[in-house]
């Protein structure tokens, strides 16, 4: 059965990209469950380093989206995919959390949770007009709001990619200029670009990272000839050590360089590139059809896992389970080792709980569809 699954999936999906997708999903969960790196106004070096290693999941998502996005220049087709695969699930999930989030983790009874005043509804409408997530407890959906905007702007990006074409000089110029722009923005502490997680301020850096992903994947065979996967892995570690060093040194001088932790920094761009690059190289060398079934299976659930992981974490936190886990871990594994064990354990734990929830949802969905078809027949 494993082999059959792998054969079916490998004909449609690149194992290297799916491995990168799985890594990005784990990294995003990790950044949401890791411990805060500021203690009483001071930077905690070990926790900051962990945060650095977990900072670039979104950059990876943009790049692997870009890897295939520009194959199909049909705008209507892109919009249909976006509506069916992103917009509709996002709306349905947002409504569920909006109605039941207070009951699940804010201590409200069911009636209080479902009922919303006119002022609250008015606030929802205003926030939506700003194209921001209006529902408390699912702030991570900003990524989907930006993704939808990017698809709306798809013809502009597609025209630009078509303009670059296969001209190596144009492509290199774009890569160097965009990288320099990210560096200058970092030097200005994000004052130059004013990048953020919302609206057009996110569309610009995200579109650049998508185009980087397109060209990385397009010329992946060139990288396979000259590099081993450990090279981007080593570069990833070095850049994150540099990121931690810069943030701590800047903090000692009362300069805020936290923007370096975000996906729209140059280090975020480079580290995201290293993750995708390493996954492509590793999969190309070591992962064959017969041993890729698990990666393909897990990554196929990444979108739904992304949707539900934060509410699951919020629910466990509201019930006191997160604090209990922290107490147990640090009582047995103190210090930096405990921080690492806690972060890895919580990341994997939330991922597996989310995966189980997704699988139960899929089973329930299939049962309802089968019941409906039987009744209709």
Please report which confidence band the pLDDT of residue 344 belongs to, taking 50, 70 and 90 as the band edges: very high
Rounded to 5°, the CA angle 131-134-139 comes to 95
Answer yes or no: is pLDDT of 198 > 90: no
Please report which confidence band the pLDDT of residue 288 belongs to, taking 50, 70 and 90 as the band edges: confident
Task: Give the pLDDT confidence of 75-93 residue by residue, as tens digits.
Answer: 999 999 999 999 999 999 9
Distance CA 144, CA 376 (A): 35
Answer yes or no: is pLDDT of 40 > 80: no
pLDDT for residue 6: 43
Distance CA 108, CA 148 (A): 32
Answer yes or no: is pLDDT of 73 > 90: no
Task: Give the pLDDT confidence of 217-247 residue by residue, as tens digits.
Answer: 998 888 777 778 889 999 999 999 999 999 9
Compute the mean pLDDT over every residue in the chain, rounded to the nearest whole number: 90
Q: Return the domain boundaries, the chain.
A: 2-376
pLDDT for residue 370: 81
Asked if residue 137 lies in contact with residue 307, where contact means CB atoms within 8 angstroms, the answer is no
Question: Which of 125, 132, 138 is CA-nearest to residue 314?
Answer: 138
Centre a 10 Å sphere on the Cβ of residue 160 and count the other Cβ atoms it contains: 13
pLDDT for residue 7: 41
Answer yes or no: is pLDDT of 325 > 90: yes
Task: Give the pLDDT confidence of 128-186 residue by residue, as tens digits.
Answer: 998 999 998 899 999 999 999 999 999 999 999 999 988 999 999 999 999 999 999 99
What does the longest C-alpha to C-alpha distance in the chain come to?
A: 73
Range with the poorest average pLDDT among 7-21, 58-72, 113-127: 7-21
pLDDT for residue 222: 80
Answer yes or no: is pLDDT of 38 > 90: no
Task: Give the pLDDT confidence of 363-377 residue by residue, as tens digits.
Answer: 988 888 888 777 776
Instruction: Assign 3-class secondary structure to the chain.
Output: CHHHHHHHHHCCCCHHHHHHHHHHHHHHHHHHHCCCCEECCEECHHHHHHHHHCCCHHHHHHHHHHHHHCCCCCHHHHHHHHHHHHHHHHHHHHHHHHHHHHHHHCCCCHHHHHCCCHHHHHHHHHHHHCCCCCCCCCHHHHHHHHHHHHHHCHHHHHHHHHHHCCCHHHHHHHHHHHHHHHHHHHHCCCCCCCCCCCHHHHHHHHHHHHHHHHHHHHCHHHHHHHCCCHHHHHHHHHHHHHHHHHHHHHHHCCCCCHHHHCCCCHHHHHHHHHHHHHHHHHHHHHCCHHHCHHHHHHHCCHHHHHHHHHHHHHHHHHCCHHHHHHHHHHHHCCHHHHHHHHHHHHHHHHHHHHHHHHHHHHHHHHHHHHHHHHHHC
Question: Which of 62, 71, 112, 144 is CA-nearest to residue 310?
Answer: 144
Centre a 10 Å sphere on the Cβ of residue 318 and count the other Cβ atoms it contains: 14
Distance CA 113, CA 104 (A): 9
pLDDT for residue 308: 94
């Amino acid at each position: 059965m494993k082999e059959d699954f792998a054969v079916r999936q490998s004909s449609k999906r690149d194992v290297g990209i799916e491995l990168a997708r799985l890594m990005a999903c784990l990294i995003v969960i990790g950044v949401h469950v890791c411990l805060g790196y500021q203690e009483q106004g001071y930077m905690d070096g070990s926790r900051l380093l962990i945060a650095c290693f977990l900072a670039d999941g979104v950059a990876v998502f943009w790049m692997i989206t870009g890897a295939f996005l520009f194959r199909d220049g049909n705008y209507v087709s892109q919009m249909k995919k976006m509506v069916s695969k992103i917009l509709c699930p996002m709306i349905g999930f947002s409504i569920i959390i909006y109605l039941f989030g207070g009951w699940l983790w804010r201590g409200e009874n069911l009636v209080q949770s479902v009922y919303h005043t006119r002022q609250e509804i008015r606030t929802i409408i205003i926030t939506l007009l700003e194209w921001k997530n209006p529902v408390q407890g699912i702030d991570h959906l900003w990524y989907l709001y930006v993704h939808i905007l990017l698809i709306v702007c798809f013809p502009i990006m597609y025209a630009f990619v078509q303009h670059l074409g296969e001209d190596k000089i144009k492509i290199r110029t774009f890569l160097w200029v965009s990288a320099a722009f990210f560096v200058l923005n970092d030097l200005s502490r994000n004052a130059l670009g004013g990048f953020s997680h919302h609206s057009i301020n996110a569309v610009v850096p995200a579109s650049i990272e998508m185009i980087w992903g397109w060209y990385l994947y397009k010329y992946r065979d060139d990288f396979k000839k000259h590099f081993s996967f450990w090279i981007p892995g080593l570069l990833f570690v070095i850049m994150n050590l540099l990121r931690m060093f810069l943030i701590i040194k800047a903090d000692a001088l009362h300069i805020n360089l936290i923007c370096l932790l975000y996906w729209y920094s140059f280090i975020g761009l480079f580290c995201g590139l290293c993750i995708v690059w390493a996954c492509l190289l590793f999969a190309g060398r070591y992962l064959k059809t017969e041993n890729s079934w698990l990666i393909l299976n897990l990554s196929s659930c990444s979108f739904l896992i992304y949707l539900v992981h934060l509410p699951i974490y919020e629910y466990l936190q509201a019930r006191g389970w997160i604090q209990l886990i922290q107490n147990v871990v640090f009582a047995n594994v103190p210090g930096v080792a405990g921080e690492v064990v806690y972060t890895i354990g919580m990341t994997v734990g939330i991922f597996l709980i989310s995966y189980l929830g997704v699988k139960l949802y899929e089973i329930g969905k299939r049962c309802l569809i089968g019941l409906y078809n039987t009744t209709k027949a």
